[in-house]
């Protein structure tokens, strides 16, 4: 499991803590920035992380900004990305099982490190169930690819 990481300046602290935790538990990742705490723009880091996932260079992506909203919207503009913006583990798990999400966004002003770890754990462990959900995921792709349903 290789994870593409991205954050803005606000999300960077939580991202660094998650990186330390990934080192401890042996999860491979690449940080696509931000690399400093200087004020910056979340699409500049959400986009490259999402592009790396869409291009299949990474299995999944995790992106963090203040609320998770801006960076999730940026990731979701990349074709093939289904990014869930999430602040609790239940939706994180269901987003994998039902929606086959390939990216997770969180808000560093919304969740603390311990909750973020629970969210990430559920999201990483959740397996897509396919079946009836595939029709719906295919419909999302159709809207993305053709601009209509
Ligand atoms: C930056 O102040 C903030 O707007 C950003 O981190 C994020 O919350 C946007 O959605």
**Dihedrals φ, ψ of 56, to 5°?**
65, 25
Asked if residue 83 lies in contact with residue 64, where contact means CB atoms within 8 angstroms, the answer is no
Predicted local distance difference test score (pLDDT) of residue 81: 98
User: Ligand 1, closest atom to CA 70?
Assistant: 10
CA-CA distance, 4 to 15, in Å (whole number)?
11
What is the tens place of the pLDDT at every residue in 13-34?
999 999 999 999 999 999 999 9
CB neighbours of 60 closer than 8 A, spacing ≥ 6? 1, 2, 3, 4, 53, 102, 103, 104, 124
Predicted local distance difference test score (pLDDT) of residue 4: 99
Asked whether 44 lines ligand 1 (CB < 6 A), one says no
The protein residue with its alpha carbon nearest to ligand 1, atom 7, reads: 66
User: Ligand 1, closest atom to CA 109?
Assistant: 8
Tokens 């401890």 -> residue: 24
Predicted local distance difference test score (pLDDT) of residue 130: 97
The arithmetic mean of pLDDT across residues 103-109, rounded, is 99
Task: For residue 42, give both structure tokens.
Answer: 């979340």
What is the tens place of the pLDDT at every residue in 43-94?
999 999 999 999 999 999 999 999 999 999 999 999 999 999 999 999 999 9
Predicted local distance difference test score (pLDDT) of residue 18: 98
What band does 41 get if pLDDT is binned at 50, 70 and 90?
Answer: very high
Write the CA distances from 6 to 16, 94, 111, 127, 134, integer angstroms: 10, 23, 16, 23, 28
Asked whether 10 lines ligand 1 (CB < 6 A), one says yes
From the list 65, 30, 66, 36, the residue with the least C-alpha distance to 48 is 30
What band does 38 get if pLDDT is binned at 50, 70 and 90?
Answer: very high
Predicted local distance difference test score (pLDDT) of residue 80: 98
What band does 120 get if pLDDT is binned at 50, 70 and 90?
Answer: very high
The protein residue with its alpha carbon nearest to ligand 1, atom 2, reads: 66
Which sequence positions are flagged as catalytic? 65, 98
């Amino acid at each position: 499991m290789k994870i593409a990481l991205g954050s803005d300046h606000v999300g960077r602290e939580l991202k660094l803590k998650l990186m330390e935790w990934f080192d401890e538990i042996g999860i491979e990742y690449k940080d696509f920035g931000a690399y400093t705490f200087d004020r910056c723009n979340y699409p500049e880091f959400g986009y490259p992380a999402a592009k790396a996932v869409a291009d299949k260079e990474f299995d999944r992506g995790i992106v963090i900004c203040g609320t998770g909203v801006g960076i999730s919207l940026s990731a979701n503009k990349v074709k093939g990305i289904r990014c869930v913006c999430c602040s609790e583990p239940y939706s994180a798990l269901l987003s994998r099982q039902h929606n086959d999400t390939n990216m997770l966004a969180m808000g560093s002003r919304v969740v603390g490190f311990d909750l973020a770890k629970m969210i990430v754990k559920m999201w990483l462990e959740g397996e897509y169930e396919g079946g009836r959900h595939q029709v719906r995921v295919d419909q999302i792709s159709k809207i993305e690819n053709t601009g209509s349903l």
